[in-house]
Chain A
Amino acid sequence: MVNKTGAVYEVLSPWAEADPIPSRGINARVTDLAGKKIGLYRNGKRAAEPTLKVVEDRLKKRFPTTEFTWFANFRANEAIVEQDAKGEFEDWLKGVDAVIAAYGD
């Protein structure tokens, strides 16, 4: 494509303005995993459960006094943790010291 006329054009941006999303920090970390309760959050993807099971197995070997509790979600994460099972999820969170989430896509 050759522009023989030499015409130039001013064009408008298609890229939308976006307000910044208010940022928040992450929760304080535990100093050690020994004796703690770790939450394992899995989604419905095929590899999520076996991956977290291996994580659980390996951590149990290194930290025999660590406990584990699972939260399984087989739908879009937000639909569960922000809507359908919000209360159940928040109760589960209150009972753990740290969470490892895996999505096995």
Chain B
Amino acid sequence: MGFANDAGSASRGKGMPVLRYMPTNVPCEASIMEDIEAGVDGALDDIIVALTKQLTAEEKSPKPKEPEKPARIIFKGSPEEVNRFFYQRGWTDGLPIILPTEEAVAEMLTGTDLPPEHLLGKLQSRNGKATMEKIAVNAVMAGALPTYLPVLIAGTINLLESEPGFMGYTTFGFSTGSWAPFWIINGPIRNQINVNNSSGAFSPGNIANAAIGRAMGLIIKNIGGVRKGVEDMGVMGNPMKYSMVIAENEEESPWEPLHVEHGYKKEDSTISLSFPQTYLQHWPYSADAKGVLNAIVDNTPRGMRYTYIITPTHAKNLAREGYSKEDVKKYVAENKLVDVSHIMAQAGMRSPSSLSPPGVPSGPMPKPGDKIPMIRDYKYIRVIVGGGPGAFIAHVVGGGATPGKKEIQKIELPKNWDKLVARYRNVVPTYAKY
């Protein structure tokens, strides 16, 4: 019933709660005609009825829905009881939360000059109102510090306005593809709030990397109303949905940082959004430019948008051999070739098309052995510098903005920013010596 629930949610979201829809027994993504025929035959009578049965009064004019106005103070109890209450309503990611008390939310709101009722917009799929207070409540639950609130506000604006967000018709939040929001933070705020860009940046253990991604996930869930198995139809799911946050290591990069590539000043702080499916890592063939680049080429999986995270050492070696970020992107895009006739045969395609698999161009039918670039344009590639000492290279591949469409948002800071940073800057782990 997953897709029936999804169809119901989508039709209600479009103001058509009485849309007639029905699930069939055609298997998902079916390509076996016997199965398709059997599924259609089983549903045909219902399809005819849906087309010809006259409308009920409710279908002609559905009753208006009452506004949803949940109580501001929703529960009173012990930490265990609060956690159980929230979990049972589907408001958590399954892990325990910090209690969003009045005091904790007020402290979180010191991270913005905007009033609690300030509305950024309405977040799909339920058009929930993204107010400062609701963002702050979810931020507290995730364990965020008040200095992260400007990042979360900018992240929410990115969800509201960017193409890979929920208003860009790209549906990454609602797909079967298990796309996970991936946030890259640039600019001075990275160091002020201690976002890890070095050893183990994607591993647990840094509160900023963990709590920013977690808070954004809760915002999607509790403000957007995206429910697993209803709107979020991810087939396999994705552990990156817990949190996927990194800063670019701008200090050790020989190249311009990501936000400067997008036209921002180096002293601006920004947050970028994409929706990858896949995270993979590999060694280079050697430490020189060709060894790094050819390993990237050979390990790049098929996707729509590609982010390569290259260590400072590799980046410096590439730069020493004359490669800019753009040169790296162009090298990969020009050298990642696929046998188009093989792909088309595997996919059962009889003619070239702009359809899946990506990269198959329109035009004459290719001959066996003809190779074409898998990546349609180097602008679908991003390169950032990050990661710690060592040779591994990371790929974050999946969905994202069409090049040129919005994917990055400037982070605005409150007037008391320096004081706020001073208050929380030393919240860092200090390991025991042994």
Q: Please judge, given known A-B contacts A29-B52, A44-B356, whether A15 and B70 are in contact too, CB under 8 Å.
A: yes
Chain B residues within an 8 Å CB radius of A17: 67-70, 128-129, 131
In contact, A12 and B73 (Cβ under 8 angstroms) = yes
B179 nearest CB across to chain A (Å) = 13
Which of B31, B72, B78 lies in contact with A50, CB distance below 8 A?
B31
Q: Please judge, given known A-B contacts A26-B19, A29-B55, A47-B26, whether A14 and B36 are in contact too, CB under 8 Å.
A: no
Q: Check B313 for interface membership: any CB of A closer than 8 A.
A: no
The residue among A25, A79, A103 with the most chain B CB atoms within 10 A of its own CB is A25
In contact, B54 and A29 (Cβ under 8 angstroms) = yes
8 additional A-B pairs beyond A11-B99, A12-B137, beta carbons within 8 Å, are: A8-B78, A11-B74, A11-B86, A14-B223, A44-B356, A59-B44, A62-B48, A100-B47
Enumerate chain A interface residues (CB-CB to B < 8 A). Answer: 1-3, 6-26, 28-33, 38, 44-47, 50-51, 54-55, 58-59, 62, 74-76, 78-79, 83, 98, 100, 103-105
Chain A residues within an 8 Å CB radius of B131: 16-17
B327 nearest CB across to chain A (Å) = 32
In contact, A14 and B134 (Cβ under 8 angstroms) = yes
In contact, B169 and A19 (Cβ under 8 angstroms) = no
Nearest to A19 among chain B residues (CB) is B67
B142 nearest CB across to chain A (Å) = 10
In contact, A23 and B77 (Cβ under 8 angstroms) = no
Q: Check B122 for interface membership: any CB of A closer than 8 A.
A: yes
In contact, A45 and B222 (Cβ under 8 angstroms) = no
Nearest to B37 among chain A residues (CB) is A54
In contact, A51 and B24 (Cβ under 8 angstroms) = yes
**With A and B bound together, what is the CA distance between A3 and B68 in angstroms?**
33
In contact, A12 and B102 (Cβ under 8 angstroms) = yes
**With A and B bound together, what is the CA distance between A38 and B70 in angstroms?**
44
Q: Please judge, given known A-B contacts A8-B76, A26-B16, whether A13 and B26 are in contact too, CB under 8 Å.
A: no
**With A and B bound together, what is the CA distance between A38 and B222 in angstroms?**
40
In contact, B55 and A55 (Cβ under 8 angstroms) = no
In contact, B55 and A16 (Cβ under 8 angstroms) = no
Question: Could you jot down 7 A-B contacts, CB within 8 Å?
Answer: A3-B79, A10-B73, A11-B86, A13-B72, A19-B122, A76-B170, A78-B169
Which of A47, A62, A98, A100 lies in contact with B30, CB distance below 8 A?
A47
Q: Contact string, B219-260, partner A, CB cutoff 8 A, digits 1/0?
A: 000110100000001000000000000000000000000000
Interface residues of B in 298-333 (CB under 8 A from A): none
A43 nearest CB across to chain B (Å) = 11
The residue among B63, B70, B76 with the most chain A CB atoms within 10 A of its own CB is B70
Chain A residues within an 8 Å CB radius of B55: 25-26, 28-29
Q: Check B138 for interface membership: any CB of A closer than 8 A.
A: yes
**With A and B bound together, what is the CA distance between A12 and B73 in angstroms?**
4
Chain A residues within an 8 Å CB radius of B355: 44, 74
Chain B residues within an 8 Å CB radius of A79: 169
Q: Please judge, given known A-B contacts A9-B76, A20-B64, whether A15 and B47 are in contact too, CB under 8 Å.
A: no
Interface pairs A-B: 10 shortest CB-CB = A16-B128, A13-B74, A20-B65, A79-B169, A23-B62, A3-B78, A76-B169, A14-B222, A16-B223, A54-B40
In contact, A51 and B36 (Cβ under 8 angstroms) = yes
In contact, A12 and B36 (Cβ under 8 angstroms) = no
Which of B44, B51, B59, B223 lies in contact with A98, CB distance below 8 A?
B51
Which of B17, B37, B101, B130 lies in contact with A12, CB distance below 8 A?
B101
In contact, A104 and B30 (Cβ under 8 angstroms) = yes
Q: Check B133 for interface membership: any CB of A closer than 8 A.
A: yes
